[in-house]
A = this chain, B = another copy of it.
Amino acid sequence: MERSFGDRQEFMTEDTPASMHFHVVSGGARLFKSLPDGRRQIIGFAHKGDVLPAYPCTHYDYSAEAMRTLRVACVPAPYLRHLHETSPGACAASLRTTRQLLVGFHNRLLMLGRQTARERLAAFLIGQGTRMGRGELWPVDPGISRADIADFLGLTTETVSRLLSAFHREKLISRERRAIHILDPDRLRAIVAHSE
C-alpha cells in the first residue's frame, strides 16, 4: 500500500507509536530530531530503497518529512517484526544495514564533536558527492537547502553560506541554482582529513 506526501509534509513523528515502516519508492526525506525550543538536528536523509526506521521499534525516535514529493510503501510494523522472527535472511539484512548506519554515525560523532565548520562542510560535500558509490561527482541534491545543510552539520545557514562562498572562491566547488557541483574532490578530501 503506497502513499505519497507533499513537500515538507511530516509523515513520521518522534515519540509516536511506530505502527508503520516506510520504504522509500521515490523522492527524498529529511530525518531529524528537534529540541523544544526549535533547534533542529538532521539525523540523515533517506532516498529510494531506504526503510524508515531501519530497525524494528515500538516508538519512532526521530521525525521525518518529505523533500519535494515523496512516495513510500507502508509496511505494518507487526509484519516487519514477523518477517524478522521467521526469516533469518531478513534479520541478517537489517543487521547489515544498521551496521552501515552505525559506522556512519561514529564518523558523524567525530565530525560534530571535533571538526571545524570548514572540515564539516567539506566532509558533507564529499559524502553527498560519493553518495551512491558512483564515479564521484554527484552534485548536492538541490532539494537540500542551506538550512538543511546547517542542521545536518550543526552550524547556522550563514556560516554554511560563507563557507560555500569561500570554497567557490578557492575553486573547490561551483554553484548554479541551489545545486552545488564538486570541482576538486581531492582538495576537499584533504580538508576533511588533514585539517589543512
Contact = CB atoms under 8 A, between A and B. Distances in A.
A112 interface: yes
Nearest to A103: B61
Contact of A95 (B55, B105, B151): B55
B56 A99 contact: yes
A127 B55 CA distance: 23
A54 B193 CA distance: 26
Contacts of A36: 193-195
A11 B83 CA distance: 37
Contacts of A154: 112-114
A126 B115 CA distance: 26
A145 interface: no
Interface in A90-115: 91-92, 94-95, 98-99, 101-103, 105-110, 112-115
A56 B95 contact: yes
A153 interface: yes
A78 B39 CA distance: 44
A57 interface: yes
Interface string A30-41: 000101110111
